[in-house]
Structure 1
Amino acid sequence: MPLRDSDNLRMALFEQVMLQKKLRKRSSVEIILKFYAFTGAVTALFGVLYVAYILLDINLTREVQMGLIIAFSGAVMSVVSLFGISYLRDRTKRLSLEQSDEIMKLALINEWAQFENIARSVSHVSKEDPGYFSIRNLLESLRKQEKIDDSDFRALLTALELRNRIVHGVDAYSIEASEVDYISTLLRKIVNRLEEVSPSKEAAS
């Protein structure tokens, strides 16, 4: 028995939440590694300056040493602050893009659910037919009845493949937002065309 559209949508939402948790964990590890890299660079710079101080036998008064320490500490705080601001901006932008992409993917799932509903209403495939729940049989039936043409058929197969990849989380990182938007637009046009020949539309007219 196939999953209902609401189950598919719920599953997709759950998988997207898990994906966002993984991304947040990866970002945390990334900032820790960047902090270690920054600390290492500062330590190396301090070491070089200290070696130069020893080799050149520079004599500095206590006041000058204190001033250099304060200046060095201020420079470190400034760099750390700039690093933090840059990271937060990058993180905010990334989350915004991710959220936009997820909304588009969920919209595609919803468009496909609408297509299935309208396609079954205009198709002559009987519910008693063993192949009633087969999407491939449904598409073939629509093409034979000339409700869709060959280009629609190919577009629907592509939409089905993309929808399944989103729902099942297959190659989630490789799905482009532009691809999702393009397929959603084609799917919406097909749905609008099928609605014009649906039994409910004809009965109303």
Structure 2
Amino acid sequence: MSRALNLINVQKTVSLFGLGCLLLIFVSSLVYRVKSPSLTLVVHNKQEQAQNPMMEIVTLMQTLEKEPNNIQVLTSLGNRFMYMRAWEKAMDFWGRVLAIEPENKMALNQIGVCYFELGKYPQARDTFLKLIKIDNKNYRAYYNLAIIYKYYLDNKDEAKKYLQKILDMRPDDKELLEAVQREMHSPKKD
């Protein structure tokens, strides 16, 4: 029995090591492409660039190397990695935005979304709470908080409080208001 457990532990260790190596290869490949002028691709038009997201990332990384505090480039990279569902990588760029502009509402929202997608619900909650302290009219942050509380932190009372705040604000967003009404009157699904 213990021999079988040792074999399973060895297999897990080898699998984790292999995944780590693949990640290291990917990251080092990306860094090498950014730093190696011989591999730099020249984009002649916006349509060509839009068709190849990796080329756009390489171009943005080259710009970032020259201008490390360029909010527009950091934002673009954060959005590109979110689009690719690379949540941890996206958070790196949003974190850099917040290091430069600690009250950047977009960066706070996007980091909250990344935490949520990673299943880090208390961190997502804390991020959205920070966002509504900066912008107490951000009804989408209130909605995100309501969903987190209702479905992931098992606190329906807190969820209803945030849903009610949205109704009190009366935002000009029919779809959101319909979703709020559904959430107010629907039980938590288990």
| Shared fold per TM-score greater than 0.5 | no
TM-score (norm 2): 0.27
Higher relative contact order (CA 8 A, sep 6+): 1
